[in-house]
Structure 1
Amino acid sequence: MEYDMSNWPLAKGVVRAAPMVSTPPSLPTPPPPPVMRARQKTLSIVPTYEHLDPAQLTTDDLRIITQGKVQVASDNTINWRYESRREAQPILDFLYLGPSSVLRDRAFLQREGITLLLAVRDSRMAKVNLMGAERVAGELGIEAESIDVDSNQDLVRWFPVAVEKINGHLLRRYRSQGRAVQAGEGEATTGAPGGGPPPQAPDGSRMVIDSAQFRPAKVLVYCETGNDRSAAVVAAYLVTMFQADVETVCQFIGLQRFCATFDESTAFLLKTYEDIIVARRSVARDAAGHAAGDGAGRSAKRTISQTRGDEDDDLSRAPAHADFDQDRYAGRGQFAPW
């Protein structure tokens, strides 16, 4: 006999951790393996220029943000101290991860050149924490943003928002320091960071930067501990921007912030997000192939005509006059879910 316990009253002060279900439990998603100090002293990731989704970022945008650099994580666990968990560590050249207590260290924020404070907060604590971050940002003349989540399970829908906030800030800071030049004008200053041609400005002109005056943007992502919600956001950012899977980015973060935790629930959310990113890139690749007319965008799914030619398929042995429910598909165009 099954009992529906979803409406059972809870004791005072008790919060339901997850919805009650009566179905058999699914297989757990294994968490990323722990950081391997003996075999893995460094780990590198590279920007993902291949199959870039033009609806999200252009190649120029990605070059500006990542500077075209390979990011290398060195094993920081050798020198790790208990007090290190109260500090922030650079995960990328431009992205830091740490606890909210770092906001009290004005000297650190100024020394590292932090230009954006991005909080990943429990929505119930939003009003309490907001004023502190805004006050610090106002004192230092930098920006402050926040992402308020109801629970850790709610994080997956906020990952794209976090990526957009980080990238938007980096691009604005770069363009605010750039100078637009028209074709044929002398370009004595440097072009894109990390080499390559100068990126385009929104109006189509080329952007050049004075390397002597350029001050790159840097983002600090933080939560109460710097180990769970903010670590998950940083991992999602790396999955989006670099050629790395969830396991690799979790290892990459763990080498630099040893106390960052990715439990079974977080690993499942990140894997779900990774699947969405892979699907989105596939759709972008197919769309680009169709636009180019070179056949590169052909869908991997077989059409009904291809199915008819399959000797192992029942459709190929059906009478020639069978319509196979064709009317339902008449006039249906290409469909892209994103």
Structure 2
Amino acid sequence: MSQPDSSHNNVFDRSVIPSYPHISLIPNIPDDSTLVQCWKYEYRRTAQQILSNIWLGPMSVTRNSLFLAESNIKKLICVTNFSVWSIMPQKLISGISHDGFPISSPHDLMNIFPQVNLLIDQAIQNEEPALIYCESGNEYGAAVIIAYLMERNNWDISMAFQFVHSRRFSITLTDAIGFQVQTYQSIYKARRDVFEAGSRNRMRRMRYEEEEEEEKNLTGEREGVAPFQDF
């Protein structure tokens, strides 16, 4: 008896997986060698302060009530997979807001960067410490902070990566995540160029209208005065 053809079963088709260009990100090596010596493997399980009132860490830190209290954390910002977010309690501790951005793949990061940027701005401006976290604290969480630094400080991806890496040495960006971050830079720069071009056009139009109004006023004054008068 012939056996059924199972050649199409459990076959992993790599052709359907999108490939991304490799983005070379050089880790930051601080001039102060003591910073490198002080970093220990277990620190990846804790959170580090990246900016004023902005912390980055793994999901496990959200259960560390002592850290949350000592750091006066007022906001939790979660960027993780749908499957993980579905089992996360929406409010972990009373008095701490919890914003979640569940995504299905790195491609979805493009949609949440602007929203997370606004939350980071609010945390900094209102002096309300926020913890940004993902499962490991090294990929999605790091990516949104890097995207924020690039847009707000007009940095490239390497500079922003090195800034965050110098504070949390365990961060890493896969090619897929790095590609989304770099693509976002092209998008917000194009949006900024359009806005600035529109502002320049408005300024030119305003100057033209002002000059035209001045010309009308001068013309009216000349028309009201006779060129020759008899005395």
- 2-side partners of 1:157 and 1:143: how far apart? 21
1:167-224 alpha-carbon deviations (Å, 9 max, x no partner)? 34555xx3xxxxxxxxxxxxxxxxxxxxxxxxxxxxxxxxxxxxxxxxx211110011
- 2-side partners of 1:95 and 1:104: how far apart? 18
Give the residue type in structure 2 aligned to 1:105: N
* Matched position secondary structure for 2:92: helix
Shift of 1:9: 5.5
Contact 2:54 2:123 in 1 (8 A): no
1:117-170 alpha-carbon deviations (Å, 9 max, x no partner)? 0011101222201x1x5132x2xx121110010012221222112112333455
Instruction: Choose 1 or 2 for highest CA Rg.
Output: 2
Write out aligned runs for 1:99-138 (5 A).
99-129=58-88, 131=89, 134-136=91-93, 138=94
* Matched position secondary structure for 1:134: coil
Contact 2:74 2:97 in 1 (8 A): yes
- 2-side partners of 1:17 and 1:150: how far apart? 19
Write out aligned runs for 1:4-153 (5 A).
11=10, 19-20=16-17, 28-37=21-30, 40-41=31-32, 76-129=35-88, 131=89, 134-136=91-93, 138=94, 141-153=95-107
Contact 1:76 1:256 in 2 (8 A): no
Residues 151 and 89 of structure 1: CA distance in aligned 2, closer, same or farther (over 3 Å):
same
Contact 1:120 1:229 in 2 (8 A): yes
1:51-96 alpha-carbon deviations (Å, 9 max, x no partner)? xxxxxxxxxxxxxxxxxxxxxxx98433101110000000001211
Question: Which residue of 2 is the match for residue 186 of structure 1?
Answer: none
Question: Which residue of 2 is the match for residue 246 of structure 1?
Answer: 157
Question: Which residue of 1 is the match for residue 179 of structure 2?
Answer: 268
- 1-side partners of 2:135 and 2:17: how far apart? 28
User: TM-score, with normalisation over the residues of structure 2?
Assistant: 0.77
Contact 1:76 1:258 in 2 (8 A): no
- 2-side partners of 1:226 and 1:160: how far apart? 20
* Matched position secondary structure for 2:24: coil
Question: Which residue of 2 is the match for residue 304 of structure 1?
Answer: none
Question: Which residue of 1 is the match for residue 188 of structure 2?
Answer: 277
Give the residue type in structure 2 aligned to 1:273: Y
User: How many aligned positions are there?
Assistant: 200
**Greater share of helix residues, 1 or 2?**
2
Residues 128 and 36 of structure 1: CA distance in aligned 2, closer, same or farther (over 3 Å):
same
User: TM-score, with normalisation over the residues of structure 1?
Assistant: 0.54
RMSD between aligned alpha carbons? 2.7
Give the residue type in structure 2 aligned to 1:11: N
Give the residue type in structure 2 aligned to 1:151: S
Contact 1:115 1:143 in 2 (8 A): yes
